[in-house]
Amino acid sequence: MGCGAPVSAGRALLSIAHSANSKVSNHGRRDMSMRNFRRDVLTSCSARVRLWLRLSGAWRVAGSVIFASCTVGSAVLAATSVLPAQARSYVIVSSSGRIGALHEWTAADGRLHVDVQLNLRGQVWNVTESMLPGPNGTVLEFTREGSSPGGSVAEKFDVKQGVARWQSPLDRSEARVDGPASYLPTFSYPSTIVAGADEWITKWATSHPGQIVHLFPSGEESATRLATTMVGSGQRRTQVILWKIDGLNHSPRFIWLESNGDIFANLEFLRYIKEGYESNIPALLDIQNQQIAKQVRKIAHGLPVRPAGSIVFRDVRVFAAGRDWRDHQTVVVKGGKILAIGPASKVSIPVNGMIIEGTGKTLLPGLWDAHMHVQDEYNDLSELSIGVTSLRDPGNFNDLTIEHRKRRATGDLLMPHVYASSLIDGAGPYTAQIATVVRSLPEAVKAVDDAKKMGLIAIKIYGSLNPLWVASMAAEAHRIGLHVHGHLPVGMRPTEAIADGYDEITHIYFVAMQAMPQDVVDHSNTIARFTGVGEYMKDVDLNAEPLVGLIAEMARRRIWVDPTLVVAESILDTKNGEVSPAYAPFIRAMPGPEARNSSQGGFEPPPGVTQEDFHRSYEKLVQLVGALHRAGVDIVAGTDGPGIELVRELELYVAAGFTTTDALRSATILPATLVGAASHSGSIEPGKDADLVLVDGDPARNISDLRKTSLVMMDGLLMKADALRAAVGMQKR
């Protein structure tokens, strides 16, 4: 983006002050220093703009003008270049309001240009693209410049004399091609944003529905038309079409196009729509959700089998009673309940029962993912494919949670049991995308009461909430029987949150916040929760204060922790071009574009910090989880991702010093206990729900064997894991 766009000091300072949330520390007001101001702006700018800001001395506030050319908070400031009259403009929105913009236009030479600016709670993308389209959805040349939280997004592709050459942050190669190629760039910004070459290929696929478009360097894409509607009024009234795009990911992409094939809207996790049509989002979402429901209903009624009689798992190793490994067992199931478990030589087998031989296999209780934001209904199938039959959703669009609950009850949605929280956040530039936003203490307490009325089990507090409201919210939650967990509101440390009523701390880097410098704590609702911990955690002594006292207090008060170490690993310990260990075991089963993008690295270290610093800090976070476990703090395993990362989370617990038994407990009986479901779930015992997973291997000796799922059972339904994988475009394990 260009430099030197003037913005009024009042507007810019208001945005900065908002981002700081009028910093609260030790329950007292604290003035924001110029150092904090600089840190916020640096966090929000591209590398090129950061350099300009330093060289130009534009930190100085002179008179009534601050010079800026970056994204500050949620306000996306205009670039100096004037957009051409034919540019199509889109707004990117979340529950916190407008968080970005996308512009695209075709130049006189036929090149398609794209400009994207996005600030997702302090994670900033400033990206420009240029693409020369070829015939039949092909790409002749492509260039991308700019920055993302992971650093440079520079990417190039061209075809000359029958040789395609490409270079991206993830790979660099060349290959001979017979004719032009449909080059699909890497997803350098959130994959819900479809523009440039990606849009060009989609436009071709939708103009030839049902045909396969072969992508380069790998994969394929196809399109299915689902629905048509009218939007806008007067001269702006236009027809839009909902398309389902398969082949890019394990989940289909659902996207709205205009009748001429131009992108109109994408209403998935991040929502963007042609500017001026924002009021149409609710109506379009209703249509889209109805169409998705039709798609997944076919899977729900066609994939599982419901045996009429008993099911017998014969001569199998069993993880029983939430703690014991028993060999040569037989387990009898009927009507979704466990009838019997015992030695294979002694348990009687019902007449006409379905026999499943268990020799060389292990039968486990259905796994739990204690941190899974359920939105993509195809991810539910991915979770089931690795044996997850229950999950804790720590925050979502509440109406979506309720709608999923209803459809699951009717059998129209195949998904794990969901135990959901209401995510509550304050208003500001870093508000969570899926939050219930509150602006006063009465609103905050009402949001707690509303969570109970909606049948949710907990509240999750987020980073932009006023810390002064936590105690009252927690007291109300406990009065009506709700669990309290979450991020730490900006300026708060774990001991303060626990004193105010937290039952659980989400993410290990928020536990680490106890030992962080005040400047990091005062920015913990920005990406400083990652980069600050990445910078300083390496030097923290786990055997000294302040962590020794914190760990002891957490053990004494029985405070839970949901570490999501896989998140820390992907952000702090994965470089571009390297496949994260969470995804490496699945890479050959993934669709080509998803496999390629699985090698995207984590965040770029800030100036003065190295990748080795990040690595050492990440290792210290793993050690911190081990220290919590040894002290008796209960750990529950969650992914905060698509869900297939769960086994990697357990592998990291074993690396931290857990036994395989204790690691497995963190994904079975312990989360069941946390949500109050242990009386009927979480372990294999007579009378409990027969939510089960059969694996080819022995997780007691090698926790990684949990990936070798063969059969999954839930609610009396029997599902082949390979069929579940195939339903989401994954090959066999």
Cβ neighbours of residue 659 closer than 8 Å, sequence gap 6 or more: none
The phi, psi pair for 169, rounded to 5°, reads -60, -15
Give the separation between CA 53 and CA 154, rounded to whole angstroms: 22
Cβ neighbours of residue 46 closer than 8 Å, sequence gap 6 or more: 1, 70, 124, 126, 146, 147
User: Are 502 and 513 in contact, with CB atoms under 8 Å apart?
Assistant: no
Sign of the CA dihedral running 693, 698, 702, 704: negative
Helix, strand or coil, per DSSP, at residue 266: strand
Residue-level pLDDT at 97: 82
Residue-level pLDDT at 23: 35
The encoded tokens of residue 3 equal 């430099």
As beta bridge partners, residue 484 has 459
The encoded tokens of residue 507 equal 């993410």
Position 146, amino acid: G
Q: Which CA distances in Å does 282 have to 175, 271, 401, 461, 492?
A: 45, 11, 16, 26, 36
Which contacts of 44-48 are long-range, i.e. CB under 8 A and separated by 24 or more positions?
Answer: 44/70, 44/71, 44/72, 44/73, 44/119, 44/122, 44/124, 45/69, 45/70, 45/71, 45/124, 45/126, 46/1, 46/70, 46/124, 46/126, 46/146, 46/147, 47/147, 47/151, 47/152, 48/1, 48/147
The single residue listed with the structure tokens 């050690």 is 623
Residue-level pLDDT at 394: 96
Residue-level pLDDT at 210: 86
Give the separation between CA 415 and CA 205, rounded to whole angstroms: 30
Give the separation between CA 407 and CA 397, rounded to whole angstroms: 16
Q: Which CA distances in Å does 563 have to 371, 636, 662?
A: 9, 7, 15
Helix, strand or coil, per DSSP, at residue 609: coil
Instruction: Go through the domains of the chain in sequence order and give each one's CATH number.
Output: 6-67 (no CATH), 88-302 (no CATH), 303-366+680-733 (2.30.40.10), 367-576+609-679 (3.20.20.140)
Is it true that the peptide bond before 686 is cis, omega within 30 degrees of 0? no
Alpha helices, H only, 410-546: 441-453, 470-479, 494-499, 508-511, 518-521, 528-536
Residue-level pLDDT at 56: 28
Instruction: Give the CA radius of gyration of the chain.
Output: 26
Give the separation between CA 332 and CA 338, rounded to whole angstroms: 6
Closest-CA residue to 568 (of 616, 516, 635) = 616
> Tens digits of per-residue pLDDT, 655-711?
999 999 999 999 999 999 999 999 999 999 999 999 999 999 999 999 999 999 999
Neighbours of 88 (CB within 10 A): 18
Give the separation between CA 309 and CA 315, rounded to whole angstroms: 19
Cβ neighbours of residue 374 closer than 8 Å, sequence gap 6 or more: 380, 391, 393, 396, 400, 401, 404, 415, 418, 420
Closest-CA residue to 524 (of 592, 591, 461, 442) = 461
pLDDT under 70 in the chain at which residues?
A: 1-81, 179-180, 191, 732-733
Residue-level pLDDT at 364: 98
Closest-CA residue to 201 (of 190, 191, 215) = 215
Give the separation between CA 68 and CA 3, rounded to whole angstroms: 7
Give the separation between CA 520 and CA 502, rounded to whole angstroms: 21
Residue-level pLDDT at 115: 95
> Tens digits of per-residue pLDDT, 603-648?
989 999 999 999 999 999 999 999 999 999 999 999 999 889 999 9
The single residue listed with the structure tokens 């380069």 is 216
* Three-point CA angle 653, 657, 662, nearest 5°: 60
Closest-CA residue to 671 (of 377, 451, 365) = 365
User: Are 174 and 166 in contact, with CB atoms under 8 Å apart?
Assistant: yes
Closest-CA residue to 36 (of 526, 537, 603) = 526
Residue-level pLDDT at 599: 87
Helix axes 34-43, 528-536, angle to 10 degrees: 110
Give the separation between CA 1 and CA 121, rounded to whole angstroms: 20
DSSP 420-454: EEEEEEESSTT--TT-EEE-SHHHHHHHHHHHHHT
User: Are 72 and 60 in contact, with CB atoms under 8 Å apart?
Assistant: no
